[in-house]
Amino acid sequence: MPTIQLFITCLTDSFFPKTGEAVVDILSRLGINVDFAPGQTCCGQPQFNAGLRKDARAVAEHTIKLFEKTQGDIVTPSGSCAHHFRHNLLELFEGDAKWHPRAEKFGKRVFEFTEYLVDHLGITDLGATWDGLLTYHPSCHTLRGLNVDKQPRTLLQNVKGATLVELPNAHECCGFGGVMSVEHPELSAEWLKRKIFNLEKTPSPTLVVTDAGCLMHILGGLKRHGKPQRVMHIAEILRNT
Amino acid sequence: MTTFRRRIRQSIENPTLQTALDNNSERRLKGKSLAFESIPDWRERRQRAHHIRADVIENLDNYLNQFITNAENNDVIVHRAKDAAEAIDIVLRISNIEHRKPLIAKSKSMVSEEIELNHALEKHGVNVIETDLGEYIVQLRKERPSHIITPAAHLKKEQVAQLFHEKLGIPYTEDIPALTATARKVLREVFLTADIGISGVNFGVAETGGICIVTNEGNGRMVASIPKTHIALMGMERLAPNLDDLALLLSLLPRSATGQKLTVYTQLIHKPMPGQTRHLIILDNGRSKLRNSPLKESLYCIRCGACLNACPVFRELSGHAYIGRNLSIAPYPGPIGSVISPGLFGENYFQLAQASSLCGACKETCPVDIDLPKLLTRVRAGEVDNGKWKVRGGLGLTWSTKLFLKTFACLATQPKLFALSQKFASLTTHLLSPRSEWMRLPAFTGWGYSKDLPRFAGKTFRERWQGMDKKIDEYTGKRVDRHESKQAEQTNLPVSPVSLSTTSLVSLFTSELSALSGNVHQTNNPTQSIIEYLLSNNIKKIYLQPNVLDETLLRQSGIDFTHEPDPTLTVGVTKACAGLAETGSVLEADEELFGSLLPEIHLAVLESKNILPSLPDAIEMTRGKNAVLITGPSRTADIEMTLTIGVHGPKEIHVFVDDSKRG
């Protein structure tokens, strides 16, 4: 029975703990022993992306040290945190003889949740059921950063009772972009408007994502404008049996 | 609010601009993806192109020396300019020595924008006229180009109509072909009377010393070939090691830039035209510094503009909103511009790099696979100069965001404090918003500008984890698919070596050229077929390249012809040395511009056995020559992205495929 480490991410931990519960539930049902290292906090991506590399390093070193004491693959319900661990850390520690190899070893253990299910465990049908239409927004870092797209789509296609409809211009960024959404609110607002406009072109009341950042951003936009659609993390759909 | 943000708001609030930008993005993205369908091995080509460009930048000094030696052996006068002032000085010196008060006809060159050449020349009383339709429009408006490929992408046809009405004195018309025809007429005079032609350079070829210039309208060919003096301006990094590598890069550049398999006029220039002086100015202007910095990869760029079209930021801003702290417009916009503008010109443009969600659309679309998101984060980190981390990271951020991120990082290294702050945040947000899970923050917070913020969860995941039932349920027995193959069926089929028969090459050539509104006539007697064509169109006199047609037969049929340059003739007949089936192109001697460029109708004679599959098969034939690949009639999409045929070059191209000599 394999043991995995769950990296919950700061956003899921703080805002959407139910997503985390769904992940634990799904993995446990598959016979996987889920472990949670309580010392974990944030991946440090906000600092890295903003150019505050010293601060990003401090956070990353904390996380690497913490997970070096644990066993097994590290699974996270966020494409952008997985991308940060796997790719950005190599950039962050480039030329550092001590930390680069450690970051590389750590990064290789990290998987985005749907990627882990499909590519690593070879599971494409979780026996989930759903009543109604779903549409999928591929988060930028899941899609282009990790090249993970077929995995979540296959998992959703195999949800019984659900009909997956295509979101127009699905590949476009929702405008979250971490601190960009507060540093450049005007840009962020325009992309969010377009995302919601495209969502409204589908008959689906539910938008599925693989990242808490997009979830918080798009749902925040829907709430602001009193729209009825909801945004759900894929784990919460797949948990529903 | 920063001036940059105010400028962004202005762009967003300008509906005309937004329509134009949406139009640009949508058409270009569609065009690019269609064009890439015709090269199923594009992923491999892209990686090869990346390695070619990486090799060039890595060994730039060697390639430059080789390139310069070969160019000089080709009788091209090579100048090196370390910065904008030197480059301008060289242009002025050439202008003053070789001409007095010269008229300069100029084709599009981003390097000239970078050094603000026109501005400097005008200050010295030199009359310089932009001849690319889009550049001409922005020059008349006294603006800078808003896009590196489509300079007038920000304008609607009504604005161009008003401009031409006011500046050129024509009756107001919004008819795009009529506006284009006006520019043709005005600029034709400029081409024919200009003392100097200035162009950019798309690629220099180290192995041959040749330069490659691509234009759709034909203006590049005009300015490089008609005036007695040609000055080509190139950035020092724009090299391809050899002709094969050039062929590969040319299979990606036009597809990425304009969705074309090949640009209409792809010139390969190796020496001056008869009686012409050809200068080449190679510009550094910060590139050596950039090359020795962590932003080195940005020098791989081949200036196709694809990242601008794919970028959601550019789609809101347009090139004019990419401004520095001193309000000057950055010479290069879009994702690549947000890297090279600060890379070349420093701190003034650092703020541009913060305007990105790092969504990766730029990297995905880049034909040479430049990791632009990574480079943007390097700019943000202040890693612009070579060496260790700069102390001041987070360039272009507001102080409040910086403070928040630093505090957050501090908490994130101390788990207990982190958990405590979560509790505190939860409590605060529940107090602020006791009833609703979503809070409305004021606009100045940034987040509150367009969306609500969720309350922090009453119980975080880590708290829930303590009480969670983590006992592993017995396997539920639900069906679980285990699939063996991990995405084995990649659609990337290897391309089979081309072994097409002449017949299928002719038919592919015909269908490709017809798709570009060109005409193909198959014949066993090209002279007879051309006579029939001329008589049926009531054409009495033509320009004729020597040794192409049976001149006795022409005379007998009452067709007058001349081998001398005559810009008044409407039909020119030339010989094509080769045809390219894949793109419907003909390869010709560049010198024959009175046959293939100036007339309204161009007739080319091509032997069917000389139709080759694609560019790599023909590129060797250009070695040491001045050659041009012509792919369809002259065209532009500079006004509202509307395709218009016949700008500066011919409006019609007819290729007479001679089947009589098939081996």
- Which of A20, A55, A220 lies nearest to residue B405, judging by beta carbons? A55
Q: Is the dihedral of CA A124, A126, A129, A133 positive or negative?
A: negative
Helix and strand totals (H; E) in chain B:
26, 24
Taking the Cβ of residue A196 and every Cβ of chain B, the question of whether any pair is shorter than 8 Å is answered with no
Q: How many domains does chain B have?
A: 3
Average pLDDT over residues B7-36: 94
User: Residue B229 phi/psi, 5° resolution?
Assistant: -125, 130
Q: For residues B138 and A11, what is the distance between their CA atoms, to the nearest angstrom?
A: 47
Tell me: the pLDDT tens digits for B185-243? Answer: 999 999 999 999 999 999 999 999 999 999 999 999 999 999 999 999 999 999 999 99
- Which of A20, A49, A127 lies nearest to residue B479, judging by beta carbons? A127
Q: For residues A124 and A118, what is the distance between their CA atoms, to the nearest angstrom?
A: 6
User: Residue A175 phi/psi, 5° resolution?
Assistant: 100, 10
Q: What percent of chain B has pLDDT over 70?
A: 94
Q: For residues A208 and B579, what is the distance between their CA atoms, to the nearest angstrom?
A: 51
Among the candidates B346, B380, B414, a domain finishes at B380
- Which of B316, B398, B463 lies nearest to residue A187, judging by beta carbons? B316
Q: For residues A180 and A183, what is the distance between their CA atoms, to the nearest angstrom?
A: 5
Do B305 and B273 lie in one domain? The reply is no
Tell me: the pLDDT tens digits for B373-414? Answer: 999 999 999 877 655 445 468 888 889 999 999 999 999 999
With CA atoms as reference, report the closest residue to A35 among A95, A145, A109. A109
Best of A8, A86, A93, A183 to substitute, by most chain B Cβ atoms within 10 angstroms, is A183
Decide if B224 is inside a domain: yes
Angle at B638 between CA B632 and CA B640, to 5 degrees: 120
- Outline where B447-493 has alpha helix (H): 461-467
Decide if B474 is inside a domain: no
Query: H-helix or E-strand containing B657?
Result: strand B652-658
Cβ–Cβ below 8 Å for B377 and A48: yes
What CATH number is associated with residue B99?
3.40.50.10420
Among the candidates B283, B301, B317, a domain finishes at B283
Decide if B413 is inside a domain: no
- Which of A15, A51, A52 lies nearest to residue B457, judging by beta carbons? A15
Which of chain B's residues have a Cβ under 8 Å away from the Cβ of A88?
A: 377
User: Residue B147 phi/psi, 5° resolution?
Assistant: -150, 145
Residue by residue, pLDDT tens for chain A (241 residues) are 789 999 999 999 999 999 999 999 999 999 999 999 999 999 999 999 999 999 999 999 999 999 999 999 999 999 999 999 999 999 999 999 999 999 999 999 999 999 999 999 999 999 999 999 999 999 999 999 999 999 999 999 999 999 999 999 999 999 999 899 999 999 999 999 999 999 999 999 999 999 999 999 999 999 999 999 999 999 999 999 8
Q: What percent of chain B has pLDDT over 90?
A: 88
> B175 near B169, Cβ under 8 Å?
no
pLDDT at B587 over 70: yes
pLDDT in the model for residue B502? 83
Which of chain A's residues have a Cβ under 8 Å away from the Cβ of B416?
A: none
> A158 near B482, Cβ under 8 Å?
no
Best of A15, A28, A33 to substitute, by most chain B Cβ atoms within 10 angstroms, is A15
Do B271 and B316 lie in one domain? The reply is no
DSSP A158-214: TSEEEEEEPPTTTTS--S-TTTHHHHSHHHHHHHHHHHHHHHHHSS-SEEEES-HHH
Taking the Cβ of residue B418 and every Cβ of chain A, the question of whether any pair is shorter than 8 Å is answered with yes
Two tokens, residue A192: 């969010």
> B350 near B395, Cβ under 8 Å?
yes
CB burial of A199-228 (b: ≥16 within 10 Å; e: otherwise) equals beebebebbbbbbbbbbbbbbbbbbbeeee
Q: How remote is the C-alpha of B594 from its chain's centroid?
A: 28
Q: How confident is the model at residue B663 (pLDDT cuts 50, 70, 90)?
A: low
Do B298 and B270 lie in one domain? The reply is no
- The conformation of residue B472, written as its DSSP 8-state character, comes to P
Q: Which residues, in sequence order, are bridge partners of residue B127? A: B103
Taking the Cβ of residue A166 and every Cβ of chain B, the question of whether any pair is shorter than 8 Å is answered with no
CB burial of A131-168 (b: ≥16 within 10 Å; e: otherwise) equals eeebbbbbbbbbbbbbebbebbbbbbebbeebebeebe
Q: For residues A46 and B105, what is the distance between their CA atoms, to the nearest angstrom?
A: 50
Taking the Cβ of residue A126 and every Cβ of chain B, the question of whether any pair is shorter than 8 Å is answered with yes
Cβ–Cβ below 8 Å for B465 and A187: no
Do B263 and B291 lie in one domain? The reply is no
pLDDT in the model for residue A241? 86
Min Cα distance A203 → chain B (Å) is 22
Q: Which residue of B has its CA nearest to A38?
A: B462
With CA atoms as reference, report the closest residue to B441 among B452, B432, B431. B452
- Which of A28, A141, A144 lies nearest to residue B472, judging by beta carbons? A28
pLDDT in the model for residue B571? 97
Which of chain A's residues have a Cβ under 8 Å away from the Cβ of B457?
A: 14-17
Q: For residues B274 and B25, what is the distance between their CA atoms, to the nearest angstrom?
A: 43
Taking the Cβ of residue A149 and every Cβ of chain B, the question of whether any pair is shorter than 8 Å is answered with no
Query: For chain A, what are the domain ranges?
Result: 3-119, 125-238
Decide if B445 is inside a domain: no
Do B264 and B337 lie in one domain? The reply is no
- Which of A30, A47, A122 lies nearest to residue B409, judging by beta carbons? A47
Tell me: the pLDDT tens digits for B27-68? Answer: 999 999 999 999 999 999 999 999 999 999 999 999 999 999
With CA atoms as reference, report the closest residue to B320 among B121, B142, B109. B142
Do B270 and B372 lie in one domain? The reply is no
Name the 3-class secondary structure at A21: helix
What's the topology of domain A125-238?
Rossmann fold (3.40.50)
With CA atoms as reference, report the closest residue to A78 among A238, A234, A240, A230. A234
Taking the Cβ of residue A95 and every Cβ of chain B, the question of whether any pair is shorter than 8 Å is answered with no
Decide if B421 is inside a domain: no
Do B361 and B235 lie in one domain? The reply is no
Taking the Cβ of residue B445 and every Cβ of chain A, the question of whether any pair is shorter than 8 Å is answered with yes
Under 8 Å CB-to-CB from B512, ≥6 apart: which residues? B261, B581, B582, B583, B584
Residues 570-599 of B with CB under 8 A from A: none
Decide if B417 is inside a domain: no
Residue reference for tokens 């928040």: B404
Do B188 and B90 lie in one domain? The reply is yes
Q: How remote is the C-alpha of B52 from its chain's centroid?
A: 18
DSSP B45-112: HHHHHHHHHHHHHHTHHHHHHHHHHHHHHTTPEEEEESSHHHHHHHHHHHHHHH-SS-EEEE---HHH
Decide if B523 is inside a domain: yes
pLDDT at B370 over 80: yes
Taking the Cβ of residue A216 and every Cβ of chain B, the question of whether any pair is shorter than 8 Å is answered with yes
Q: For residues B17 and B155, what is the distance between their CA atoms, to the nearest angstrom?
A: 7
Among the candidates B239, B268, B283, a domain finishes at B283
Cβ–Cβ below 8 Å for B408 and A42: yes
Q: Which residue of A has its CA nearest to B446?
A: A182
With CA atoms as reference, report the closest residue to A154 among A130, A118, A121. A118
CB atoms within 10 A of CB A2: 14
Cβ–Cβ below 8 Å for B450 and A184: no
Cβ–Cβ below 8 Å for A88 and B360: no
With CA atoms as reference, report the closest residue to B350 among B305, B393, B407. B393
Q: For residues B345 and A20, what is the distance between their CA atoms, to the nearest angstrom?
A: 46
| pLDDT averaged over every residue in chain B | 92
Q: For residues A190 and A178, what is the distance between their CA atoms, to the nearest angstrom?
A: 15
φ/ψ bin of B147: left (φ > 0), alpha (ψ from -120 to 50), beta (otherwise): beta
Cβ–Cβ below 8 Å for B470 and A221: no
pLDDT in the model for residue B394? 81
Residue reference for tokens 């009377």: B193
What ipTM, to 2 d.p.? 0.96
Q: Which domain holds residue B186?
A: 3-149+160-283
Q: Which residues, in sequence order, are bridge partners of residue B571? A: B601
pLDDT in the model for residue A2? 87
Cβ–Cβ below 8 Å for A179 and B460: no
pLDDT at B477 over 90: no
Tell me: the pLDDT tens digits for B236-262? Answer: 999 999 999 999 999 999 999 999 999
Decide if B506 is inside a domain: yes
Two tokens, residue A102: 């450690």
Which of chain A's residues have a Cβ under 8 Å away from the Cβ of B427?
A: none
Cβ–Cβ below 8 Å for B451 and A56: no
CB atoms within 10 A of CB B486: 9
pLDDT at B154 over 70: yes
Tell me: the pLDDT tens digits for B69-101? Answer: 999 999 999 999 999 999 999 999 998 876 678
Do B116 and B221 lie in one domain? The reply is yes
pLDDT in the model for residue B481? 36
Tell me: the pLDDT tens digits for B281-335? Answer: 999 999 999 999 999 999 999 999 999 999 999 999 999 999 999 999 999 999 9
Taking the Cβ of residue B488 and every Cβ of chain A, the question of whether any pair is shorter than 8 Å is answered with no
DSSP A72-101: S-EEES-HHHHHIIIIIHHHHTTT-TTHHH
Cβ–Cβ below 8 Å for B397 and A42: no
Min Cα distance A7 → chain B (Å) is 11
Do B254 and B120 lie in one domain? The reply is yes
Min Cα distance A74 → chain B (Å) is 16
Best of A1, A5, A7, A13 to substitute, by most chain B Cβ atoms within 10 angstroms, is A13
Angle at B651 between CA B650 and CA B656, to 5 degrees: 75
Q: How remote is the C-alpha of A85 from its chain's centroid?
A: 12
pLDDT at B495 over 50: no
User: Residue B431 phi/psi, 5° resolution?
Assistant: -70, -40
Residues 174-233 of B with CB under 8 A from A: none
Taking the Cβ of residue B6 and every Cβ of chain A, the question of whether any pair is shorter than 8 Å is answered with no
Which of chain A's residues have a Cβ under 8 Å away from the Cβ of B372?
A: none
pLDDT in the model for residue B444? 92
Best of A184, A196, A224 to substitute, by most chain B Cβ atoms within 10 angstroms, is A184
pLDDT in the model for residue B386? 53
Q: How confident is the model at residue B2 (pLDDT cuts 50, 70, 90)?
A: confident
pTM of the predicted model, to two decimals?
0.93
Min Cα distance A91 → chain B (Å) is 8
Best of A7, A52, A118, A231 to substitute, by most chain B Cβ atoms within 10 angstroms, is A52
Do B353 and B235 lie in one domain? The reply is no
pLDDT in the model for residue B498? 45
Do B566 and B526 lie in one domain? The reply is yes
User: Residue B535 corresponds to which amino acid?
Assistant: L
Q: For residues A81 and B574, what is the distance between their CA atoms, to the nearest angstrom?
A: 61
